[in-house]
Chain A
C-alpha cells in the first residue's frame, strides 16, 4: 500500500471512528448507571446484530487507523528501517483485529 493510499485510508477510518467513539462513550455512561455486570452486557449484545455490526466496524476501523499512526511515530522517533516499521505496524493491526473481533464474537 503506498503512502497516498495509507493517508486516505487513515482519514476515512478516522471519520468513521469519530462518531462511533462518541456513541461508545455514551453507551459506557448509560451502561454503568444501571450497574455493570456480565449479565447486563450480554443481555444487550447477545443476538443483537446492530451492536455486533457497530463494534465489528469499530474494531476494523481502529485496527486500520491505529497502526498507520504508530507507523508514523516509529519513523519519527526510532531509527528502525521501513521493513521493520511496516512489519511492526502490521503486527499491531493483526493483534487489534484478533483481540477486537474475538471480543465482539464472544458477546454476540
Chain B
C-alpha cells in the first residue's frame, strides 16, 4: 500500500561531479515537483540545496531538469511528468552546477549583456510619454515576445548553447527582438550589431527546443527567425516601413 502511495525520486547531489540519491516521497493528489523537492529537504535531507522564490510561476527561480527535460518546477504537476511513480531531478543543463540543484546563472545573465538586450530610451523625464501605436505590426511582435521570466529553461534546452557556450542563446535574443521592434529604443543599430555578432543569432539551428519548453509559451525560435530576416533589411527599415 505504501509503495502505491509513494514516489521514487532520484535527486542529483554534488556539483559537476556527484551522485544520485533516491528518496521515497508521499504521493499526493495535488503536488508539484517543487513540492516534492521541498518535502525532501524538510523531511529527508536538510542539506539539499535548491532555489525557489515565488512558487507561482512568476520569478523564474525554480527551473530544474525533471526526467531529462527542463521545467519550471513550481508549475509542473508531478502527475504530468512522473513515469511509473518515478522522478529524476537534476540541475539545469548548460550552466555551471554549484551544489545539488542550484546552478550558477552568471553565464546566462551575461548573454543578456553581450546581446545588447538593454533598453535605451531617448527622451528625458521632462518629455511627455512617447506615443506607441498598440496596433502596429512591430508593436504586436514585440508584445508577443514579452513576459519572459528569465528562468533559463530555454537556455538549458538549447542544443546550440550546449555545443557552443559563447552562443547568445534564445532568451537574450528574444529580448533583443522586442527591443528592435520597439520604436522607443534608441540604440537600434548597436543592438542589432550585437545580436549579429559572432556566436549571435545566425548560429541558431532553428531546432525549436526553446519554444517547445518555454514555460510561459513564448516563441524565442520565432523571435530569432525574425532577427535573421532583419539581416536582409537592417533594423531601422523595419520600424520605418511598418
Contact = CB atoms under 8 A, between A and B. Distances in A.
A51 to B, nearest CB: 31
A75 B203 contact: yes
Contacts of B160: 76
Interface stretch (A2-10, A19-27, A35-43): A2-10
Nearest to A5: B231
A2 B195 CA distance: 12
Contacts of B200: 3
Interface in B155-171: 160, 163-164
A72 B201 CA distance: 12
Contacts of B232: 8
Nearest to A10: B202
A48 B203 CA distance: 41
A72 B160 CA distance: 11
Contacts of B164: 75-76
Nearest to A85: B198
Nearest to B192: A4
Contacts, number: 28
Interface string B174-210: 0000000000000000000100111110110000000
B228 A3 contact: no
Contacts of A77: 163
B202 A6 contact: yes
A13 to B, nearest CB: 14
Nearest to A7: B202
A33 to B, nearest CB: 39
Given A2-B196, A3-B200, A3-B202, A76 B231 contact: no
B118 to A, nearest CB: 20
Contacts of B193: 4
A72 B231 contact: no
A54 interface: no
Interface of B: 160, 163-164, 193, 196-200, 202-203, 228, 231-232
21 contacts: A3-B196, A3-B198, A3-B200, A3-B202, A4-B193, A4-B202, A4-B231, A6-B202, A7-B196, A7-B202, A7-B228, A8-B231, A8-B232, A75-B164, A75-B199, A75-B203, A76-B160, A76-B164, A76-B203, A77-B163, A82-B198
> 6 nearest interchain CB pairs?
A76-B163, A7-B202, A4-B196, A7-B231, A3-B196, A4-B231
Given A4-B231, A76-B164, 17 more contacts: A2-B196, A3-B197, A3-B198, A3-B200, A3-B202, A4-B193, A4-B202, A7-B228, A7-B231, A8-B231, A8-B232, A11-B231, A75-B199, A76-B160, A76-B163, A76-B203, A77-B163
